[in-house]
Amino acid sequence: MAVAIRVLLFLLLLSASAEPTASAVAGPAVSAWEKWMDRLITCAVTCLVLAAWRGSGAKEPKETPLPAPVAEGTRAGWLMQDLEKFERLTKQQIGSDNPRFAETLDEALSFVRVLCVGMSAFDCSSRVVQHDTDSPVLVVQTNGKLFGDFATRSRIPFNVISDDEVTFQVQGSPPSGDCPFRCSCHAPCFGPASRSSKDGQPLGGAWAQVTVELDGQVLTLDAAAQVHARQVDLAQFPGKPIVYVPKNDVSSVPLRGAVAVLSEKFKPGTMSDGALLQGAYQAGADAVIKIGGGGAMLYSVPDPSEIPCFAISEDDGKKLCSALEVSRSAKVKELKVNDRRQKLQAERWNYGKVWLHFSGLYLQSVDWDGPLCEVAQEARASPEALVYEDYFEVYQTTREVDPRLGLDRSKLRRMMESAWSQLGRIGLTKNASMIGKLLALGAQRCKLKVNYMKFHPAESFTGTACAMLLSPHKSGFKQKPASDSLVQAWVAHEAVYLALMGHFTKLIDYMAPSLWNLIKCMNGEFFGWEADAGKIRKLFTACSGPVGPVPREVWQQRDPTWRITDERNAVGMVVRTQGRLLWSKDAANTAAPNSTTLPKCGATTTAPRRSMMDFMGRMAQKICCCSL
Ligand SMILES: [Zn+2]
C-alpha cells in the first residue's frame, strides 16, 4: 500500500515539475502564471497527502523524552535521585496552592532538570543540602569542567561552561545581593528603554541630561548616555564649547576641545554611530551630542567609542539648533547620568516570581582562544576603539587566510556562513555597519556568570516568562578591547535598537528565533522583556543526536552540532524536537573533528532519509517556507 502511495506521489510531483508536452503546447495558450499556479496547487495537494500519510505526528511535534536516568547505583543515577529529592523538598518549602505559582515553580524546576540530565552523562556526584528554613541546595560535582556547545544553526554566540561544582537553589523571595539594581557593574545596562511609555518616553525622569548655557540662558534636555568605551569623568565637561557641525562635516568647523553636535539626519544609512563618533574624535572633539535616531524616542548609542555621546530627541535637537544659530556663546553647564533603578526593583521583583540561583555556571563568548576582536585589533594595529565597519572589513579580508577564522575553528564563522545566503537575499551582506554590528557582538571575548533565572507568569503571551541575570566574571583573562561589563551593556543596548526597529526584530526572529528569545532573556531584568521559558529550556536541554541527511559541505559535516535540529517529516513539519546543547568534557572536543564523528550526546541518530523522500521534502519546504 505504502509503495503504491509513493509511486502515486512521485508521479504527482513529476507532473508538477515536468515541461508541457507537445499536445499541451498545441492547445489553448496557457499563461506562465497559470502554469505556476497549476504546479503550486499540485505541490500543495502533495503536501497535504504526505502530511496525512505521516499521521497525526506531523501536527503535534512530540517532545523528545529526556534520556532515561542512568541505571540506579551509578553516580549519575544518584544525581537523578538527588534531583527528585531536591524537587520534592523545594516544593515542600516554597510550593503554593496557587496554580499559576505552581506552574512557575514547575518551570524553574524543569530548568534544573534539563541541566542535570545533561551533566548526568558524565562522571559526577551530587548531594542535597538544606539549612533550617531555607530552600534546599542541589550540589552537583563533575570530574572537571563541562563545556556546552549550542547548535550552530541556533546562532547563539555563547558556550555554556560549568565549574567542577555547580549548585542550584530555587527561592520564592528576591535575591539579597546588589545586582542588578544597586550595583555599579550593571548600571550601564539600564537606560531609557528600561521603563518607558509605549511611544518610548522615559517614565519617572530622564536617565541622562544635557544642560547647556547659551548667552547666559540655561537649557536642560533629556538625554540617553552612551555605552562608554572607557571611564569618563563627566565633571571635566562644564565650560566646554558646544559646536554645531553642519551636515556632520567635521572638517568644516574647529572641534578641538569642543562638544560636537551631530545629527542622525545627515548620517548615511549605511554608517554606524561608532564611525560617526570616530570622525568627531579624530577631529579633536571631546564629546558628542547626537540629535535623533529614534524620532521622539530616546535610546542609548551602544557602539563603544573613545568619547562620550549623549543622545537627545529630534524635537529637543531642533530647539538646541535654533538656539545655537543665534547664540554667540554656547557651552556645557552639565552632562549628567542619572541612576533610576530603584523604582524598577519594586516592579521587577514583585510577588509571584520564582528565582533559580546558580553557582559555577557561565556563558562564555564563542571562539575564546582566538576571537574576531583579537584578529581585528591586530589587523588595525590601532589603540582606538574599533567601529562596526572595522569588524566587517577585517572579517571579509582575513576570514580565508587567518586560521582563527577558519571554518573548522571559528564557531562565529560557521554561524555567519549558515546565515549568509539569507542575509544576502535581503541585501545585507554588503552593509558594512549592519554585518559589522552582528560580527562585533559575537566577536568579543567575555565570560559572564549566570547569577539567576527569574520565572513568572507571562503577560505578553500564554505561558511562563523568564529573565536571566548575567554578571561580569573576573576571569583573569586579559580583556581586549573591552571589559565583560562593557560588552554586556553594549549587547543590551544593541538589543534595544533591534527591538525598536520592527523589521529587524522580525528578521532576527525569522533567522534566529532561539537567539532572539535568549537576547530577551538576557536583558529581561534591564528592560522588562519577557522571554518564553519553554524555549529557553529547550535551548539548554541536552541534544539527543544528529538528525537528517549528512550535509554536502565538508565544514558542515565536521561541525558536531550542525545536525542538532528538530526532526522533520518529508513535508518539513516537525515530528520530534530535541534540545540544542551538546555537552562535552572540554572545549577541545567540540572543535571540529577531522572526520564526520558524531556528537557524543546520544545514540538516537536516525537513518538517512530515502532520496525520493528528500526530494519531495525539499519541494514541499519551498512551499511551506518552514524556518529552522
Ligand atoms: Zn551588578
User: How far, in Å, CA of 311 to CA of 294, rounded?
Assistant: 10
- Domain housing 307: 191-338
CA of 183 to the centre of ligand 1 (A): 4
Q: What pLDDT, on the 0 to 100 scale, is given for residue 596?
A: 36
Residue 580 placed within a domain = yes
Neighbours of ion ligand 1 (CB under 5 A): 179, 183, 185-186
Rg (CA), the chain: 28
Ligand 1 geometric centre to CA of 186 (Å): 4
- Asked if the peptide bond before residue 20 counts as cis, ω within 30 degrees of 0, the response is no
Which of 38, 54, 70 is the C-terminal boundary of a domain?
54
> pLDDT tens digit string along 397-428?
999 999 999 999 999 999 999 989 888 888 88
Ligand 1: centre distance to CA 85 (Å): 32
Report yes or no on 516 lying in a domain.
no
Q: Count of CB atoms within 10 A of residue 210's CB? A: 26
How far does residue 217's CA lie from ligand 1's centre (Å)?
A: 39
Residues 73 and 100 in one domain: yes
pLDDT in tens, 512-536: 788 889 999 999 999 999 999 999 9
Q: What is the mean pLDDT of residues 140-163?
A: 95
**Domain annotation covers residue 118:** yes
Q: Judge whether residue 626 has pLDDT over 90.
A: no
DSSP at 553: S
User: Does residue 452 carry a pLDDT above 90?
Assistant: yes
- Residues 199 and 158 occupy one common structural domain: no
Cell of 157: 554566540
CA of 453 relative to ligand 1 center, distance in Å: 15
Q: Are 230 and 264 in the same domain?
A: yes
The whole-angstrom separation of Cα 17 and Cα 312 is 57
**How many A from CA of 469 to the centre of ligand 1?**
9
Over 50: is that where the pLDDT of 592 sits?
A: no
Is the pLDDT confidence value at 499 over 90? no
* Statement to judge: residues 205 and 322 lie in one domain: yes
- Residues 240, 262, single domain; the answer is yes
Q: Which of the four pLDDT bands, split at 50, 70 and 90, describes residue 7?
A: very low
Residues 587 and 457 in one domain: yes
Distance 187 CA to ligand 1 centre (A): 7
**How far apart (Å, rounded) are the C-alpha atoms in residues 591 and 513?**
25
Name the 3-class secondary structure at 83.
helix
Instruction: Answer yes or no: do 244 and 118 share one domain.
Output: no
Q: Is residue 481 part of a domain?
A: no
pLDDT of residue 31: 53
610 or 581, which is more confident: 581
- Centre of ligand 1 from the C-alpha of residue 334, in Å: 26
Q: Using the predicted structure, report yes or no on whether residue 201 has a pLDDT greater than 70.
A: no
Separation of CA 185 and ligand 1 centre (Å): 4
**What distances in angstroms separate CA 174 from CA 106, 135, 180, 424, one per listed residue?**
18, 13, 12, 45
Largest CA distance in the chain: 91
Is position 620 within any domain?
yes
Q: What would the mean pLDDT of 61-79 be, rounded to a whole number?
A: 55
213 with 321, same domain: the answer is yes
Q: Is the pLDDT of residue 362 over 90?
A: yes
Query: How far is residue 582's CA from residue 160's CA, in Å, rounded to a whole number?
Result: 10
Q: Give the chain's domain count.
A: 3
Considering the domain boundaries, does residue 413 fall inside one? no
Q: What is the DSSP string of 395-428?
A: HHHHTTT-GGGSTTT-HHHHHHHHHHHHHHHTT-
| Each residue's pLDDT tens digit, 264-295 | 999 998 899 999 999 999 999 999 999 998 77
Do 74 and 20 lie in one domain? The reply is no
**pLDDT at residue 377 above 50?**
yes
Query: Are 21 and 133 within one domain?
Result: no
**Does pLDDT of 231 surpass 80?**
no
The Å distance, Cα 386 to ligand 1 centre, comes to 26
Amino acid 248 reads N
CATH code at position 276 = 3.50.30.30
- Taking the centre of ligand 1 as the mean of its atom positions, its distance from the CA of residue 100, in whole angstroms, is 30
Average pLDDT over residues 549-559: 94
Residue 409 maps to a domain: no
Q: Does residue 597 share a domain with residue 458?
A: yes
